[in-house]
Amino acid sequence: MELDVRRVACNVCNKVVREELKFIADCSLYTKRFSFHIGRQCRESSIKHVAREHRLHWGTVKELEKQYMQEQLRRAGAVNPKVTGTDEISIRKGHTYRIVVSDLEKRRPIWFGGVDRSEKSMDEFYAFLGEKKARQIRLAVMDMWKPFRNSTNRHAPQAAILFDKFHVLRHLSEALDRVRKQEYGRLDGKKRKFIKGQKYALLSHPENLTGDARKNLKILLAANKRLNTAYLLKESFAQLWDYSQEAWARKFFDNWRAALKWQRLGPFEKFAAMIDRHWDGIAAYCRPENKVALGFVEGLNNKIRVIQRRAYGLRDEEYLRLKVLTCMLPEI
């Protein structure tokens, strides 16, 4: 299609300007309507697949999708979170991290940045948010990483800090796995066969096990008393988040910790000591106003990993940032 574009001589600035065509995308060979079509397809398919379907260059498709995502963010408007969720993601090998902050009430990521997971990088989020909006945050959900907590206490001192349930339970699963390894090293010969290859069955939720996995778990727990005790303690600990009063939650934890006595479960004792040190950030969930969907941050991490696998080898960090920030936004 050919289109005549008017050129106008301005008597004020003595320059010749060209007529602005609002339906043309930043890539002047394509319309915004076409760029939005490409962007919608890229939400479900890889750049390579979309480029092959439309017989376009790979780089052209990526630029059109970036324009689509930028428009999504523009229409979503400014952010003003009251409840935030903070976590880090690995973007490549070598412990290279970026921080992702989400609005847990609107259920969408609102910031992606930093150069690592340090306190200085977390400060960049609060600089982006501004002092006024930072003072409006009432609850900050995060893992037990100290730099995140320090930065939040300094920039949003009024916010209650709540440690993410799934990160806490991950530490407990790691403690159970260390007990499994200790038992495997302690035993020899045929006694090891009950433990070998049972990591998945031991760490999974019982409801997710079927068939041989469930059967093997029963055999393992019947054959090893220490692992059976550790497994029961792990499964019972999730009850901590069911209490609506801190006093009852603390009583449950004290009883749970007392059950460790004489059990020779060193990793569990270290875990209990860690929970005791961070108790305020766990007990905060007992308050009714802090009953938020803690699974959103973990679900977002899974979604980001899917994005990274689909864009394997991509080094454009701005593109990854846009993909993360728009992954929960509606289509346009």
Q: Please state, as a whole number, how many other Cβ atoms lie within 10 Å of the Cβ of residue 171.
A: 15
pLDDT of residue 197: 78
* Contact (Cβ atoms closer than 8 angstroms) between residue 84 and residue 101: yes
* Whether 38 contacts 50, CB under 8 Å: yes
In angstroms, what is the C-alpha Rg of the chain?
A: 26
Contact assessment for residue 81 and residue 137, using Cβ atoms and an 8 Å cutoff: yes
Domains of the chain: 7-76 (no CATH), 83-164+294-326 (3.30.420.10), 177-276 (no CATH)
Q: Phi and psi of 161, rounded to 5°?
A: -100, 130
Instruction: Please state whether beta strands 7-9 and 16-18 pair in parallel, antiparallel, or not at all (unpaired).
Output: antiparallel
Q: Mean pLDDT score of the chain, rounded to an integer?
A: 88
- pLDDT at residue 3 tops 80: no
Residues forming a β-bridge with 138: none
pLDDT at position 282: 92
- pLDDT at 10 (0 to 100): 80
**Tokens standing for 132?**
């006024």
How far is the C-alpha of 237 from the C-alpha of 256, rounded, in Å? 8
- Rounded to 5°, the CA angle 67-101-131 comes to 100
List the structure tokens of 174: 């790691």
Strands across the sheet containing 160-163: 108-113, 96-103, 83-92, 139-142, 160-163
Tell me the H-state helices in the chain: 32-42, 47-54, 58-76, 119-129, 131-134, 146-155, 165-186, 199-203, 211-223, 225-237, 246-258, 266-277, 279-283, 295-310, 317-326
Q: Are 142 and 148 in contact (CB under 8 A)?
A: yes
Give the pLDDT mean for 307-326: 83
pLDDT interval class at 27 (50, 70, 90): low
Check residues 132 and 186 and name the one with the higher pLDDT. 132
With H, G, I as helix, E, B as strand and everything else as coil, classify residue 227. Answer: helix
Backbone angles phi and psi of 190, in degrees to 5: -65, -25
Kind of pairing between the strands at 96-103 and 16-18: unpaired
Question: How far is CA 205 from each of CA 12, 42, 88, 182, 248, rounded to the nearest angstrom?
Answer: 73, 35, 25, 22, 25
| pLDDT band at residue 54 using 50, 70 and 90 as cut-offs | very high
Average pLDDT over residues 192-204: 80
Which residue carries 């930065």 as its tokens?
Answer: 151
Residue 75 has pLDDT above 80, yes or no: yes
